[in-house]
Structure 1
């Protein structure tokens, strides 16, 4: 395994919806009390303490990387603005197998710039209970079973260099990438009122569920139009396309939504909106996504009873973040 070179960053997008890559480390372990089979590695990676990772101590990003063996970082978020941001990502080894361990993020403006961090990046499982698993469900022995997320401070616009350090099987590894912080965020932010878009329902589709849901089997989150309910009761609005996803996570996040609906459906409305016109990527995004200014998927917005965005999640998110977003809307 080669030495990590910050100056020649490797960013691997989480593309593709299928595959047979297995992670033996992720598949070890037993089921939790809810019947979800978390692997030992994922269970351990869900908690990150201050002493789990090297302190920055005024060092540069290159110095922290040192001679760490290099793995690959795949960013799962794309919109960053000055201030506090959510940075979600996955990590893969040289065989393209997902890596799970206690993880943190370091940031700098240049490879030899003073590093900020580490910002804790706990793993968030994509695994759901058996009744909610679709054909595209995440599985502990599958190619992706959890996603990392960190809350990071990005005080200025421009390019930032990112180093993720993870402790896996007793060893430290480094994964590098870059992100671009801009002053422009076209997507409805927390505290704002979202556009009152009209989402597609089973009724508006004339009963043709497959035209508005590529999940197998289809979900039951198509009974209500967002325009009819926003501002009247809390809403969880999920933009995702399980079959046509440009990442590996649309199937799992819709499964998570279905599971959350059974837990919170009496308190808020759950709506799933497909992404592409006629379920054809070449035809572009459907009108509700255009209305929200979206250029990536999946996205989750939770809106409180007053009709304001309580939380938003881009790209990939697991059970923990989804639940936090729901509870933010419920107050």
Structure 2
């Protein structure tokens, strides 16, 4: 099974243990070609988001087909319904999903969905193009509360390492080509500036899915466009880069990452000028998607 997603880790006394199992859910369905002579083929869905809770959520997933590969930029609609013993299940919400390109030719579909109760929900994804129409239904677990800081909550006033004091860049980031501006502020200081903020938690040098480096590059690019209007911070996942030397068994997870309750990497957060989290993004978020969200904040 292909893993599209974030790299998960667990903490044991702040020690980092990688779990390179990507997503925890996989589903199969059928595609029906408009050509009646075409045979049925399997549609595969891979969840790119796992921290789903009551309220508004950004959900993301990849779609593949065994002979075609990744299904890119197909017209895609999502239907949600609560799974219960009631045979007359009602559709809760219908939303369109947008496709965003990922590094290395991959990509995901993204939609904002609302869930009004915890438990097991049914998700039907309907996709179509000029040549095919397909549908797949799977289950999605919705938690009562998010494992990570929830939307519309106050961001934690964290004091991450910066390059303005005792630390050198190679002690606070595994990025081989770091932008020092991303390490000049603590989250706490940035929030006190009454200016919007984007924070990305990622480990460019140790990310198994190879999306952390591209995620930090997204920050660099957007910083060049919006540095007068919004602050950008990269927080390295691992605290003792000088001791790791390629062996993650020696790695300690940053206390800031633990405080934010992040179960995987990368994660990004969009915080408004009042210090409120108004966007949270599990896994890689493309420059185009993040920029659309930033433009809503700085208007």
| TM-score > 0.5 by shorter chain | yes
Q: Which runs of 5+ in 2 are unaligned?
A: 8-28, 33-39
Alignment of 1:45-84 (within 5 A): 69-84=41-56
Task: Give the distance between the partners of 2:275 and 2:92, measured in 1 at CA.
Answer: 36
Q: Determine the structure 2 residue equivalent to 1:211.
A: 171
Deviations 1:259-310 (A, max 9, x none): 1101101112111111133355444531111121222222211222222223
Deviations 1:113-146 (A, max 9, x none): 45455420011234xxxxxxxxxxx2xxx341x3
SS at match of 1:173: strand
Deviations 1:200-254 (A, max 9, x none): 22345632x2332233422331122222221212221111122323545323222
SS at match of 2:160: coil
Indicate the structure with greater strand content: 2
Q: Determine the structure 2 residue equivalent to 1:264.
A: 226
Task: Give the distance between the partners of 2:41 and 2:68, measured in 1 at CA.
Answer: 15
Contact 1:12 1:73 in 2 (8 A): no
Higher mean alpha-carbon deviation, 242-251 vs 254-263, is at 242-251
Task: Give the distance between the partners of 1:96 and 1:278, measured in 2 at CA.
Answer: 43
Indicate how the Cα distance of structure 1 residues 295 and 200 shifts in structure 2: closer, same or farther if over 3 A, else same.
same
How much does 1:198 deviate? 1.0
Match of 1:324 among 288, 292, 298: 292
Match of 1:125 among 101, 106, 124: 101
Contact 2:198 2:232 in 1 (8 A): yes
SS at match of 2:170: helix
Q: Are positions 1:154 and 2:111 aligned together?
A: no
Q: Determine the structure 2 residue equivalent to 1:8.
A: none
Match of 1:276 among 234, 238, 245: 238
Match of 2:62 among 61, 83, 90: 90
Count of matched residue pairs: 259
Q: TM-score, normalised by structure 1?
A: 0.68
TM-align CA RMSD: 3.0
